[in-house]
Structure 1
Amino acid sequence: MIGRTIGFIGGGRITRIILGGLRRAGQMPDHVTVSDENVGTLNALRAEFPNVIIAPNDNGKAAANELVFLALHPPALKEILGEIATSLQPEAIVVSLAPKISIAALSEGLGGFKRIVRMNPNAPSIVNSGHNPVAFSTALTPSEKGELKVLFQVLGACPEIPERDIEAYAVLTAMGPTYFWFQLYELIELGKSFGLSADAVECGIADMVRGAVATMFESDLSPAEVIDLVPVKPIGEDEAALKHLYRTKLMAMYAKLRS
């Protein structure tokens, strides 16, 4: 069974998100080791997840598990590949959570190790509602891929995609919540200023968002027809500027990740 022992190299946000999702689903492995150079980060993680084994400045200890998550940003990730190569078990599986670095480049950095997966992490995985696309190396068997998908599905959807699409999903889904969260929190504050209770406005916003998305994808209406359903658009005059912002900022981010 894949995932009986799990190691995380990097104890930051995405490690906390994945562990939070596993715990919430009652699927927390018995043996989890997390390494990080920042002892404060590790202590904070263990305060939240008391059974986690922390390994300050010992990436080899985290890499010696059956399933090894590389939870670092690309520049830091490149630096530790050679360091952990000799600690990997022959039958281990390495899951990179970083954009930019291909399976081929990861394999080269790991001294030819080929049992590699790339996954695009998504913050809503903390409540088991993520969208985490995965790309597998050819070294994994169909059975192993199936076992990994069962584990990943605890965190939410995990469609298998071509590796070339990882960076597109990084911009659209991994970073996607940041495009909306601040706006939704602002609506909540406005609702409370209008005299609504916190519970009422939070329920209303949640239902509105779910309904708006369902209307987009389940109504059989065109985008123009969907937008036309609501005649009054208080910020409609700013729509062009917002679209321009999306295109310039997100196209630049995609180009950076693909470079």
Structure 2
Amino acid sequence: MDKFGFIGCGNMGYPMLQGVKNVFGPDFVVFTTASAERRELIKKETGVSRVSDNASIVASCKYIILAVKPQKYEEVFNEIKDYVTKDHIVISIAVGFPIENIKKSLGSFVRVVRAMPNTPALVGEGMTGICFSEDTFTEQEKSIIDRFFCSFGRYEIFDEKLMDAVACASGSSPAYVYMFIEALADSVVKYGIPRDKAYDLVSQTVLGAAKMVLETREHPGKLKDQVCSPGGTTIAGVAALEENGFRNAVIKATDACYAKANSMKK
């Protein structure tokens, strides 16, 4: 089987590498990252082979995962463009680099999968939106790409025009969820619950509520109503959230995220 090569292994690349290594095996994964010290650390932690330059990744792997910051893309393109062929598949995870621009930099023949993963990939619960370039991918390649993205969570396929919205829905939103967990935990620490137990109570509740939505396929509003007894404590809390603009704050956060993603296009 062809190898996966990670160019970059930071907050997003590392969780993906771990998932791919666990499913395909360390012999089918190669990586590089700018810091020699970090290369050695990741090799020791994962058992995955490392190389010292980006061109070597392209020379030894078919699936090339671009997991560097968007501002580093042009530098990486310049280093690998002479080595990329029509047999490679480039998997890009950066906001602001449409497939068309990647092809302009690496060649019109390059096949691209554009992806927007998120950091819960680190625990195998990532959610990724992906789109494909308008090229031919074999059934075997599609199967391997499916296993690749399932190795660290779930994924859905979208038209590329929706990828900025995907960044809002899943790419950036774990930060909002962590803020919610922190705030709700703080609110009960105020009443005497120990902080570690508060984080456990709230985090498991968020996990369970999300699982209810995914597994029952019920509308979130219906599930919310099932918790809200008439005249009870929950509806009082919901009313307070509405009074303080909870939904509007979330929508405004998405608007800001979407506008930023659009401004980053190159």
1:38–1:108 Cα change, 3 Å: same
1 CA distance for matches of 2:241 and 2:45?
45
1:49–1:225 Cα change, 3 Å: closer
> Secondary structure of the residue that 2:131 maps to in structure 1?
strand
Kindly indicate whether residue 125 of structure 2 is the aligned counterpart of residue 115 of structure 1: no
2 CA distance for matches of 1:177 and 1:103?
25
Aligned-pair distance for 1:60?
0.6
1:113–1:72 Cα change, 3 Å: farther
Aligned length: 253
2:100 corresponds to which residue? Answer: 104
Aligned-pair distance for 1:138?
2.1
Contact 2:185 2:195 in 1 (8 A): no
1:171 corresponds to which residue? Answer: 168
RMSD of aligned C-alpha atoms?
Answer: 3.0
1:133 corresponds to which residue? Answer: 129
1:113–1:36 Cα change, 3 Å: farther
1:178-217 matches, cutoff 5 A: 178-185=175-182, 187-188=184-185, 194-195=192-193, 198=196, 204-213=201-210
Richer in helix (by share): 2
Bigger mean CA deviation after superposition, 13-22 or 226-235 = 226-235
> Secondary structure of the residue that 1:125 maps to in structure 2?
helix
TM-score by length of 2: 0.80
> In structure 2, what residue type is equivalent to 1:60?
A
Kindly indicate whether residue 142 of structure 2 is the aligned counterpart of residue 145 of structure 1: yes
2 CA distance for matches of 1:216 and 1:30?
37
1:234–1:254 Cα change, 3 Å: closer
Aligned-pair distance for 1:178?
0.6
1:51-89 deviations in Å (ceiling 9; x for gaps): 33131xx21112221110001222211232132011224
> Secondary structure of the residue that 1:116 maps to in structure 2?
strand
2:88 corresponds to which residue? Answer: 92
TM-score by length of 1: 0.82
- Which runs of 5 or more residues in structure 2 are unaligned? 229-233
Bigger mean CA deviation after superposition, 43-52 or 229-238 = 229-238
